[in-house]
Amino acid sequence: MAAKKKVPQKNKIAAKKVASKAKAKSSGKGKAWTFPKNSLEESLRVARAIEDKNAGNPMRAADLGRALGFNRPADWRFQDLLKSSNQYGLTSGSGANATVELDSIGEDIVAPSSSGQRQQALVNAFRNVEEFRKVEDFYGGKRLPEDEFFENTLVRDFSIPRDRVRTFIDVFTSNLKYIKPFAGLSSESESSVPESIDGADNNSGKTIAPKAKENERIRQFLDTCFVMMPFGEWFNRYYQEIYVPAIREAGFEPVRGDELFTTGSVVEQIWEQVAKSPVLLADLTGKNANVFYELGLAHAARKPVVFTASNIEDVPFDLRHLRVIVYDIREPNWAEKLSNEVTEYLKNAKIEPEKSIPQPFRDFQNGEE
């Protein structure tokens, strides 16, 4: 039996060095993050806090952190959020002792002079991250491949470190999902990249107004208002012709359960929308079981809810002291009256949310036991 040939020790050492270098090259350890750890929607919290809490003027990191719910400006979660906001071009300034101010992209999103300006600024923020822009160009008009192949392409062709590639995919796809409705593009397919997310003519390079598909709205507002109501022919008409314009007039983007297209549990999607919406609207007509279940989630989340009903008897007795709009379709101009009242009540609920939250949830809202 022939003896095995021994591999020289120096060859083993050389092989280990090659393997170590290859592993280090595909790892992000010790390297700065070149793309945001947070989604665009999450990062907008920074720009919105500056606009809402300080009229758009620069803020000290300590004050900004408290406005966002962080007790210490050195909190790593707050610092990650600040850095992400900077990488999107929303704000300038990072670090525990920094003064953070709005940049032009951030200002155009949180305080635009038109909905078109906001739409374009959101796209600009997304493309401000070089890696996102390159991947968008590469896959424009195509479906994203399965995770394994997408990950390999990102590592090999775009130099995304292997240990950061999942974060990249999560943030990239979340951003596409968030931006598409503002550009009038279908959000049903989460696994595809549109040819252009800003309506740009790829041949001329000019930006054209986005065109929504039939029965699909172009999103205009950052804040959403989740609508809890029955489905059906007449209710669908009430939603499209009365509630949608009224909610937008109040400065919110209307969202209803049947407009959610993401995969996963329906209850989780509803809970997500409840949590995101500063104010909600519930039509209690007919005492629909699904509506009351969603209403329970809203109260558990301590969210202000404006109620409508065609019959006061459909409103539980212990909720009638809250903001309730009773409409009668037999009255002249009932639809216009309902629309105006919904707009007014939503605006008031945003200013004084506690008046639309029942006890004991109102006390929880104020931090009382």
Structural domains of the chain, with CATH: 40-193 (no CATH), 224-365 (3.40.50.450)
Packing angle between helix 40-54 and helix 165-179, nearest 10 degrees?
A: 60
**Tens digit of pLDDT per residue, the chain (369 long)?**
555 556 566 665 555 555 455 454 567 777 889 999 999 999 999 999 999 999 999 999 999 999 999 999 999 999 999 999 999 999 999 899 999 999 999 999 999 998 889 999 999 999 999 999 999 999 987 888 888 999 999 999 999 999 999 999 999 999 999 998 888 765 555 556 666 666 554 443 433 334 445 456 788 999 999 999 999 889 999 999 999 999 999 999 999 988 876 666 888 889 999 999 999 999 999 999 999 999 999 999 999 999 999 999 999 998 888 889 999 999 999 999 999 999 999 999 999 998 888 877 766 654 444
The two three-digit tokens of residue 90, written as one number? 């929303």
pTM, 2 dp: 0.80
Q: Please say whether the beta carbons of 251 and 221 come within 8 A.
A: yes
Rounded distance between C-alpha atoms, residue 271 and residue 29, angstroms: 36
